[in-house]
Amino acid sequence: MQDMVAPNMNDCVDCPIRHRAVCARCDADELELLEDIKYYRSFTAGQTIMWSGDRMDFVASVVSGVAALTQTMEDGRTQMVGLLLPSDFVGRPGRETATYTVTATSDLVMCCFRRKPFEQMINSTPHIAHRLLEMTLDELDAAREWMLVLGRKTAREKIASLLAIIARRDAVLAKNTDINSLAFDLPLTREAMSDYLGLTLETVSRQISALKKDGVIVLEGKRRINVPDMDRLMDEAGDDSDGGFLS
């Protein structure tokens, strides 16, 4: 069963607790503990993994692909509140129901851990709990960084900020050291981008066109983006810091 999806699994195949999700430091005993309670699930782009309010029997880590956490108001306005990239964690130990709707924005593989035994493991192995705290604090910083984007940045700056986040994360995962001049695939539709940025999809489209016209990015098709000058992009994002959404 694990072998079926193994090719996409990064380090999860060899050692699940190498997941940023679970523990930074490997240990054979923990590996065994996790082996018993883990399983893999695949989703196709657009599939909803769970709805806000659903009962949640597992916590999970993204192995490959991209998922989104979203909130929706009664009248349909929706806001994405988190973007889950490979190695990101989802689920809250101690909480039985999902707070947010989770959707696969691209084809996706998750490594799930049954919640109850996972919680027990946390309680018995302090350094895993500690690692989880660290990750949660990173996520909190990321969410706060994003509050600045949502509250104070212009549409153009918002787009540039999002592209910078994805570009950097992509570079890290690809072990790409040449951070100047890189290309990547956008794992989001224009609509998903607009939900993330608090914009309409038309505005997203227009601003991407504008950035292209101004030479900040080069489009290859609609989804593949080439950034000739990363510093320039960061500048457009208005970031003095290192850009933030990632820890």
Partner DNA sequence: TGTCATCCTTGACATGGATCAAAGGCGGGG
Partner DNA sequence: CCCCGCCTTTGATCCATGTCAAGGATGACA
Chain positions contacting a copy of itself, by CB under 8 A: 69, 71, 73-75, 77-79, 81-82, 92-95, 99-100, 123, 126, 129-130, 132-134, 136-137, 139-141, 143-148, 150-152, 197-198, 238, 240
- Does 148 participate in binding DNA (rule CB under 7 A)? no
Q: Phi then psi for 237, rounded to 5 degrees?
A: -75, -15
Q: Which is nearer to DNA, 72 or 205 (CB)?
A: 205
Please give the residues from 203 up to 242 whose contact with DNA meets the rule CB under 7 A.
203-206, 208-209, 219, 221-223
Element (H, E) at 101: strand 101-104
3-state class of 18 per DSSP? helix
For residue 20, the partner it binds in a copy of itself, DNA, none, with Cβ less than 5 to 8 A by kind, is none
232's contact among a copy of itself, DNA, none, with CB below 5 to 8 A by partner kind, is none
DSSP state of 66: -
Q: Are 42 and 107 in contact (CB under 8 A)?
A: yes
- Give the one residue of 171, 201, 228, 238 binding DNA; rule: CB under 7 A: 201
What are the DSSP calls for 10-49, one per residue? GGGTT-GGGSTTT-SS--HHHHHHHHHHEEEEEE-TT-EE
Cβ contacts of 152 within 8 Å, gap of 6 or more: none
Residues near DNA (CB under 7 A): 46, 154-156, 189-191, 198-206, 208-209, 219, 221-223
